[in-house]
Amino acid sequence: MEARHGPTPLEVGRLKLVYRGAEADIYSGDWSGEPAVFKFRKPLPYRLPELDAEIRGQRTVREAQLLHESRSAGVMSPSLYYVSTIESLIVMAEVSGPRLKSFLESPGADTEGVSAEFGTAVGRLHSAGIMHGDLTTSNAIVNERGIHLIDFGLAVRSVKVEDHAVDLRLIKETLVGAHHDISAEVMKSFLEGYAGVVGDDRSRRVCRKLAEIERRGRYARVE
């Protein structure tokens, strides 16, 4: 890619920092008149520069590709506006609404319905051969149109039972870690929605693999 002349998208978007994530900073701004999210993978100063550049470039490209593919699979996710590997930047449509994390914490929320919808979305993603790779309750947004999956930064193409089980394991880990009181009911509704898309047989296989992965965990053996 050649060097750019003139201002960069970061300079023209009138950006406001909204979230400082682990591997990317999220800005809200403007893209041709539309409210947009600018995801900028800044160099991480603790990582060796050559390793850092490699990882940021790789993840930016893959995220853009799989974000696009997820929409073809019928998953609601942000539409893609612009990608640049020069700045490790992805510009996408802004999705309004609270994160699933805060939605689950709000009193009187329809936990059951939203959890099932979350399961349906993940089921569609898996059926399309995509592993999200970072399915925490911070990476789903709930609004009147339904549940949207965001942050495909660790997504990979995979149809493996093991990889899909790893996705479910992270959901479970997050629920137990951060939403302990309601984790069991959320997981139950989630799996109903999930099985509704991938089928009971496949869902059972993924859950069996999930249990196997948990048993592999350190000091997890039954005594």
Residues interacting with other proteins, by CB under 8 A? 20-23, 44-48, 50-51, 54-55, 133-136, 138, 154, 166-167, 169-170, 173-174, 176-178, 180-181, 213, 216-223
Q: Which is nearer to other proteins, 7 or 217 (CB)?
A: 217
Q: Which is nearer to other proteins, 9 or 39 (CB)?
A: 39
Q: Which is nearer to other proteins, 61 or 178 (CB)?
A: 178
CB 46 to other proteins: min, Å: 4
Q: Is the dihedral of CA 159, 162, 163, 167 positive or negative?
A: positive
CB 133 to other proteins: min, Å: 6
> In the annotation, is 201 catalytic?
no
Which one of 25, 52, 110, 134 is the catalytic residue? Answer: 134
Distance CA 129, CA 160 (A): 8
Q: Which is nearer to other proteins, 9 or 56 (CB)?
A: 56
Burial letters for 44-77: b for 16+ Cβ neighbours within 10 Å, e otherwise?
eeeeeeeebeeebeebbebbbbbbebbeebebbb
CB 84 to other proteins: min, Å: 22
Nearest to 193, CA basis, from 123, 100, 101, 99: 123
Contacts 24+ apart (CB under 8 A), 213-219: 213/162, 213/165, 213/166, 213/169, 214/169
CB 32 to other proteins: min, Å: 30
Which residues belong to the active site? 134
